[in-house]
Amino acid sequence: MTTRIAYGAAYARPSFSARLGDVLSAALATSRLWMRRRHDRHALSQLDTHMLRDIGFDRAQADEMAARPFWRA
């Protein structure tokens, strides 16, 4: 007696629309991350020296962070 093993759905290639959805989802997540970085860095640059000290930064560190491009962590 021979046993057959079905490899159907477990190894099926994702459809084009599923792959496209994954790519668009990743692009949207990256865009949101970049926007958040841009916003946070701008907010950091607006803090005064006293507020920077409260969060453990000095002006030079804040300026360095704010000068980074949004795509860099």
Place of tokens 């006293």: 50
- Whole-structure pTM value: 0.71
pLDDT for 12? 78
pLDDT for 20? 94
Tokens of 43: 């907010």
Does residue 55 fall inside a structural domain?
yes
Digit-coded pLDDT (tens) for 13-66: 889 999 999 999 999 999 999 999 999 999 999 999 999 999 999 999 999 999
Does residue 60 fall inside a structural domain?
yes
Q: Estimate the share of the chain in helix, then strand, then coil, as percent rounded to the nearest 5.
A: 65, 0, 35
Contact 62, 52 (CB under 8 A): yes
Does residue 63 fall inside a structural domain?
yes
Domain that holds residue 59: 36-73
| DSSP state at residue 68 | S
Does residue 5 fall inside a structural domain?
no
Place of tokens 């994954």: 22
